[in-house]
Amino acid sequence: MLKILVLTNLLIIYIIGCSNPKQIEIMQEQSVGQIPCVANKIEIIQHNINKADGSGNWMALCNGRTYMCRRGSGDQTKTIDPDISCNEMESQIPE
Residues of the chain with pLDDT under 50: 5-7, 9-17
* pLDDT of amino acid 13: 44
DSSP-assigned beta bridge partners for residue 47: 58
Distance in angstroms (rounded) separating the CA atoms of residues 8 and 1: 11
Q: Where are the domains of the chain?
A: 21-88
* pLDDT of amino acid 17: 47
φ, ψ (nearest 5 deg) of residue 54: 85, -5
* pLDDT of amino acid 44: 96
* pLDDT of amino acid 90: 87
Question: Which pTM was predicted?
Answer: 0.70
CA distances (Å), origin 64, targets 13, 14, 39, 92: 32, 29, 15, 12
* pLDDT of amino acid 15: 44
